[in-house]
Structures are given as C-alpha cells and as structure tokens.
Chains A and B, each alone.
Chain A
C-alpha cells in the first residue's frame, strides 16, 4: 500500500507543481461561481433548491475536471518517456494504476473542496440542510471516482493526451446519456441502460439528499472494472 500512496502523492504534487493543475482549478472555480451566480443569486428559491442546483452544476464540472486531469496520467508519462521508471520498478502494475488513480482522484476532490465555499454561503445566508449537503457531496465523490477511473483507462490506452481526453470525454458523456438509450430501448435492455445511467439513476437522488445503496455498489464496481482494464492494458503493452 505504501507504494500506491507514494505514486499517488507524486501525482498529486505534480498536478499542483505545474500551470496545468492550477488552470483546471481556476476553471472549475470560475464555472462553479458563474453557474451559482446565474441559477441562484437574486432568486427567491429555498435553500434546499439552491443547494440542489449547485450540486447539479458541480457534478457536471467535476466530471469535466476528471477528464482533463486524467488525460495526462499515463499518456503524458508515455510521451515524456518517464513511464519506464514505474514499469521497471518492483511496483506491480495494479499498484501503478491504483497510485495514479488515487492521485488523480485526490486532485479532482481538491477541486470539489475548493468550490465548497458556495454551499457555505448558503449556510451563512440561508437554511442549509446538512444531510442533503452530505448526501450530495457523497454523490459527487462517487461520480468523480467513476469518471476518474474511466479517464485513467483512456489515458492508459490512448496513444497521446488528446486522444485520451477525447475518448474519456466520450465515455463519460455516454455515462450520463444512458437514460436516452433506455428511453428508446425495449425491455429488458431499457432497464439495463437505466441502471447504468450515472446522473438520473445514481446522482439525482443524492442531489436531493437521498443516499441509495445501489449507487454505493455501482460506483465502486464500475471504477474497479475500468481500473482492472487499465491494469490489463499495461500488462498487454509489456507484450508488444
């Protein structure tokens, strides 16, 4: 586990060491602030609705942040020829993948935490429901875990950062569009697609303060699946 944390810590520090990480953080704060301003300030909505709207926009922004953070992960190391350092160390492939995943997820959650001043404003000026806020942030953390795992897989697979970003963007978008597919599909596929939808099925209840057990199973399962695929990609590359 210490190797995993070692790699994760380096990833996190590397994200904050360059302009790229700070640019993502600034963009997240700007978008969260703009959406908050557009949807809530000046309106006469109740606090729970304001918080729900904030969680909705923060969910979208966090998904995008996960794509931008993870597209560099393996692809940039491959381009800069530093991945060999990890691949020739005694660390196992799963340790490398998990370390990079936790580092990227840590950064994504930092961006979520940085925007938490907005719900604090709701608490200061309104009547914040702590249960709803806790459930909402749990939902965002679970969605971030899924999107980061998808991004790590795409970065491990793609030949360069741009391709990794495009592929991750596509797959993450697909995750929130499964409900469209479920609407035009026949049973039993419709319920399968519905169950896979990240927003409607798995985040929306959290947004309103309800914690669903199925999501607590879904998010780790999907994350594990994509991390497992990432490990397999690394192993396959050793055979090339």
Chain B
C-alpha cells in the first residue's frame, strides 16, 4: 500500500479537553475514508489538522510525503477542505468566488475558467455560476464548498460532515458525489451517521473521545465483533427452541413465522454454530436454515465505543 496520508501519535488538546490522543494511521491513495465517531469524538479536529488549519500538540502528520512540521504550506497545497459550514463569501458571485479560491490555491489565471466549468459540472451547479452565494440554498452552498475544495485538483479531499443540513434528495446526490471522488483522490469524510459511512467509504476510522479505536475496511471492522450472530429457522415453537440452546447463547430476537416454523437470531459468544445445531437437533427441532448474520457496522461501532468490542488498541492498518 502506498500511503498518502500518514499520522503518528497525533495529539491535540483544547485547554484541559483532549481532542485527539495519540492517533496513528495510514491511508492509501484513492481511498474513501470515513471518519466515524460520536459528537466530540475528535473528527473535526483530525480534519482541521490534516487541512493545516491548526497544528497538533504532539505527533506528526504527512500528506504526499510532505511533513506538516517541515513545510505546512506545501502540505496545504495538496489538500482541499470543506469544513462543516462552507467558508463562503456571501456577497460574491459563485464564479468570482471560485476564481478567487482557485487563484489563492495557485491555479493559473488562464486555466481558471476551464477548471471552474469542470468542477461546476461535477457538483452539478453549472447553471448557478452567476448566482450570488448568499442567495443559494444550503444544498447548493455545500456544492460550492465542495467545488472550491476540488478546484486545484488536490490529492486529498477533506469533507467535514458533508451531508449535515441537507434534505434527503441532496443527501443522495452528495453520497454519489463523494463516492465518485474516490479512486483518483483520497477522500476523508466525517460523519456520525453510520449509513453515510457505510454507503460511501472504503475504509473507516473509528474515533471515540480522541482515541482511534479501529481502522480498517468494513469487513475488517465486522471481524472485530467479539460475538458471532446467526439466524436459525426451525420447525417448532420459538420459545421452546430458545430453552434448548447451549449455555451462553443469547437470543437477540425470536418469532413464529407461521406454519409451525420459527426464527431466532442468536449471539453465540464463543459457542460454535455446530453446537447450536446439535443442541436443537438433539431436542427434536428440525433445522430449515442456519446462517451467520453479517456483522453490521452499527453493532460493531456501538461495541467499540462502549468498550465491549475489545477492539481498543487496534490502531492503524
């Protein structure tokens, strides 16, 4: 893996409040990385440091091989950043605003009109370039915010809560846009909405109270769950089948499906599937179906932040 973003024991405090505590990770070029965490987890602080807006209290950051401590300006030139609230000059027209941001980020004057046209089409607002920014809806402001982050064709794009304040249709559009940015650029998108991360990201950083609890693909995070979950369909009553399960198996959900068939969702907690099957068959229940439930992100996330997943310390790739 060629790491384009690398942090090493990154820390940051605001007075007595620790926002980041020894966060280390690496991300490959072209990845869409979800930064997941509850409010106050340190997501925005991490993105602000990667964007070069603030400096870490300790540790190091490098983007594209450029260390923040060595050349902050060079590092900032490799990054496009959309804060949660787009930094827009309300009195400017969209075209003028993008022209200003492009020039600020070193885009040559002659290239600006073409670049503006390309990013405007990309964020689907080419018909709004002559609008005054202050007259745009929040959805369009977010689009202008993303356009300004993409204008200088950065290697890394940082999007802080890109779907906040958007309506459902705008959220779908934003999701597609974020996905489409991956491949050519490394994209970090922060959210406390699991669905956004689940649907848009290749890998996930889970932050909680400033600590990196886990980092990996969704499949890798799923494997962090300490209990396997299975679904079983049996002939017989659900309540009776539940009473015949091996010790330690937890019934998450059960119900009768009709026709003498019941379904149970079970957390195994160390028990093997074969033991469950043997116990049920031994008790006279015919098994119609038994299969593992893919550990969903929500369960893993909650296990991690509650400290139940035993995954703390799984930092880094």
Contacts and interface: CB of A to CB of B under 8 A. Distances in A.
Contact of B87 (A18, A81, A238): A81
Nearest to B149: A88
A44 to B, nearest CB: 48
Given A14-B91, A238-B53, A239-B54, A85 B76 contact: no
Contact of A81 (B52, B73, B79, B85): B85
Which of B77, B103, B104 has its CB near the most chain A CB atoms (within 10 A)? B104
Contacts of A86: 104
B131 interface: no
Given A17-B91, A81-B87, A82-B89, A238 B55 contact: yes
Contact of B79 (A3, A7, A10, A88): A88
Given A90-B76, A92-B73, A238-B54, A6 B83 contact: no
A82 B53 contact: no
A89 interface: yes
Nearest to B52: A88
A91 interface: yes
A125 interface: no
Interface in A1-58: 2-3, 6-7, 10, 14, 17-18
A238 B76 CA distance: 14
A219 B48 CA distance: 37
Interface in A71-107: 80-92
Nearest to B15: A240
Contacts of B104: 3, 6-7, 85-86, 89-91
Interface string B197-208: 000000000000
A88 B101 CA distance: 11
B91 A87 contact: no
A89 B89 CA distance: 15
B88 A82 contact: yes
A240 B100 contact: no
B42 to A, nearest CB: 16
A92 B106 CA distance: 13
Contacts of A7: 104
B33 interface: no
A188 to B, nearest CB: 42
A80 B159 CA distance: 19
A196 B202 CA distance: 62
Contacts of A82: 87-89
Contacts of A90: 73-74, 76-77, 104-106
B91 A84 contact: no
A156 to B, nearest CB: 15
Contacts of A85: 87, 101, 104, 148
Nearest to B103: A6
Interface in A162-193: none
Contacts of B88: 82
A225 B100 CA distance: 29
B263 interface: no
A18 B79 contact: no
B91 A88 contact: no
A237 B56 CA distance: 12
A32 to B, nearest CB: 27
Interface string A214-240: 000000000000000000000000111
Contacts of A87: 52-53
B105 A240 contact: no
A6 B81 contact: no
Contact of A84 (B81, B92, B105): B81
B276 interface: no
Contact of B100 (A2, A10, A81, A84): A10
Ordered nearest first, which 5 A-B pairs have the shortest CB separation?
A: A85-B87, A90-B77, A17-B91, A82-B87, A88-B51
Given A17-B91, A82-B87, A88-B79, 5 more contacts: A6-B104, A10-B100, A18-B91, A82-B89, A85-B148
17 contacts: A10-B100, A17-B92, A81-B87, A82-B89, A83-B87, A84-B81, A84-B83, A84-B87, A85-B101, A85-B148, A87-B52, A88-B51, A88-B81, A90-B104, A238-B55, A239-B57, A240-B54
